[in-house]
Structure 1
Amino acid sequence: MSNDVRTNWAGNLTYSAGAVARPGTPEELADLVGGSDRIKALGSRHSFCDVADTTGTHVLLDVYDDGRPAVVVDAATGVASLRAGLLYGQAGTALLERGRALRTMASLPHISLAGAIATATHGSGDANGCLASDVVGLEIVTADGEARTLRRGDADFPGAVVGLGALGVVTRVEMATDPAFEVSQDVVVDLPWEALLTDLEAVTGAAYSVSAFTLWDEDAVSQVWLKSRVAGSSDGQAGDATGERRRPARDVLLDLGARDAPGPMHPLAGEDPAASTVQGGVPGPAHERLPHFRAEHKPSTGAELQSEYLVPREHAAEAIEAMRELGPKVAPLLFASEIRTVAGDDLWLSPFDGATLALHFTWKPDDDAVRAVLHDLEAALLPWGARPHWGKIFVAKPAELAAMYPRFDDFAALAQRLDPRGKFRGGYLTEILPA
């Protein structure tokens, strides 16, 4: 994993920025933004494409202090105000100290709040929306250097949350939280493909969060990770966000033909499972179980590429079958592929405008070969309504993305109004947004 802020997390992209700035106060940030021709916030650098790039100055918020505690929880509503530069793992730890928990998390706790929200990054679970869906407020410094606050109910709010960094520098996010709850995690192996295809709802609904791993050319789904809310923590219900009691998730999958994992697992074959979050049904705080990787360990392999496509749930079977046909082509290039589900939301640039199947690909670091196979993959998936993840690698032309979002013209108008000179546009945003 690269520690050089001139490159992204995986080291496959060198940024175009001519300078890096770390403002320490709101006044410094306002002067920096207002006086810049080209500028862009940079988070934990976990995007694999140039969505966060700029030819001007990259702004890092790792030393930014607005004079308020990094985490503030409203006792009456449970809404948490969080510094945007915090990592999700840091936010989870701080919230637990205050008796609260994030409702969902991505597979990595090492990603920044603002960056993950801006690109509609997500975890898994039939009832769990993407990370941005729990945002109820944003504080953002726009092109004129002025700080603005947008909250749910404001006309611009649903356009600003998944904002791709195109509207300004987000300094704080307000998020709905739950009372602190615990999660237990079980892993099963060798789930028959037939069970996944014919009983998809049973598989993905077995636990609060479910992730299935495959290389697509295998005789069975190699691993399924099941994360269940523990009875007696928070709402007192196990396995479900709705309050309905469910059978233990592991039992559901065993009845469908899976087997218990032989021991702790890592999503990537051959990698040390010590980096993975605790398995074997041992309860722990939500932020220590909902991700796949522990905050204190280096996530995944570092030298890798990633793609992801978000498919409307009604076309899940067709998308899975299409990927199985591509198995011989994609398997030699894969470290792992993950199947997840995500609930819908009302955010303009969120790909989750309804129940969604997410197909994630962690590729070996062979850019030319990966991009070549992505042409086949997109030819198979895009006709079923698939949308690429904003921060991953895809081969669809940036201008094609706009047609995938009914409210994109509204977003473009919002970007033009808040940033008429386009100072926050860089990377492929210079193509997708009008000048």
Structure 2
Amino acid sequence: MKITVIGCGYLGATHAACLASLGFEVLGVEIDPARRSALERGVLPFFEPDLPELLVEQVESGRLRFTDDMAEAAAFGDVHFVCVGTPQRADGMGADLSYVEGAVAALAPYLDRPTLVVGKSTVPVGTAERLQEILRTTAPAGEAVEVAWNPEFLREGFAVKDTIEPDRLVLGVLSERAEALLREVYAQPIAGGCPVIVTDFPTAELVKVAANSFLATKISFINAMAELCDVTGADVVTLADAIGFDARIGRRFLNAGVGFGGGCLPKDIRAFRARAEELGVKDALRFLHEIDRINIRRRKRVIKIARAELGGRLPGKRVAVLGAAFKPNSDDIRDSPALEIAATLHEKGVRVVVHDPEAIPPARKKHPELEYADTIEAACEGADLVLHLTEWLEYRSVDPVALGAVVAGKRMIDGRNCLDLAAYADAGWTVRSLGRPTVG
């Protein structure tokens, strides 16, 4: 079996390299010439642990190569994975399907033999059925071209492991042949015990957005509890520990802080709400509007605390921001709470200096008005206030005594509730957290 991966951004490049590592011949289709050239040289245009080495290995082995030619891809592949993006639409909250539809429309005229087109992109329910009809009516092979939906569940920072050793496989298929082909593709993880859920198109399409909506709800729930803790003097971390022991709830994703960001959760819950409204059941997902509002409110809360810590006046102050990526082990700044807070403070007259182990290049491109530092110490030098906004290990392991020697004021806002508060208090710092009593 030969496989193509159409769209070699974060999802596609990871999927292509991992499938090649499983022994398949893989052809990646990427129309962006700069990105394609980089991938052909084994260079990733983004940061993801373990993937650079895997990409180089598979390109050098000859199992993985890249093209921009759809005719070549159609002639090469028995299974075509569609991995293009579905960003939020510019004119609303719904998903922009132009890349998915464009990819399928470009491939269809060359499909002249039985083949399987597999969607991995996160799409509104109903998309797979529509694409199936497009292929049946425009591909030369007609009904011999089948669609399947196989949603991705990658966690940035763990994408290679999540592809090669997934915690579940969801196969939305219409025929036994489509199921058999996908089981062949994923034979290795299935043999390793990975659960397989075989279902219809609508269920397969709903799984990813339902999962992301649940995670977003859990995060915003504990952040709502943090708001109550702030006004009552309770400790949200202890609260989360206590309710997390309930097996029905669990402790994971019960970490209060500045909220979620990235390219999935924010746009997926908005697109999910938009699709529910199109289907006439908007009340079913009305709660997601409040989930979104709670999440955005956390960023405003940090600005409010910063103003209070700086004596009620922001202009002219110097603030160090530790973190630009939306999460650690990533350079993804899409909808990053850390970067939005930094930009907002700058707009209010604050001199903001940002540090991040990996995300400075994309952050500088998006926000050239901010200052950036290559080291934690340089970012914090002379700072009146330090904001810890992305939970990189480097930040959690900083020596508070040494850091206190370079700042102008030993004031910290722990926006991720993961610093050693006792150690900072002992070093003379005042630390404000979200949903925890002030220390120092």
Q: Same fold (TM over 0.5)?
A: no
Q: Give the alignment's TM-score, normalised by structure 1.
A: 0.28
Structure with the higher fraction of residues in helix conformation: 2
Q: Which has the higher strand share?
A: 1
- Which structure has more relative contact order (CA 8 Å, sep 6+)? It is 1
Larger radius of gyration: 2
TM-score, reference length from structure 2: 0.28
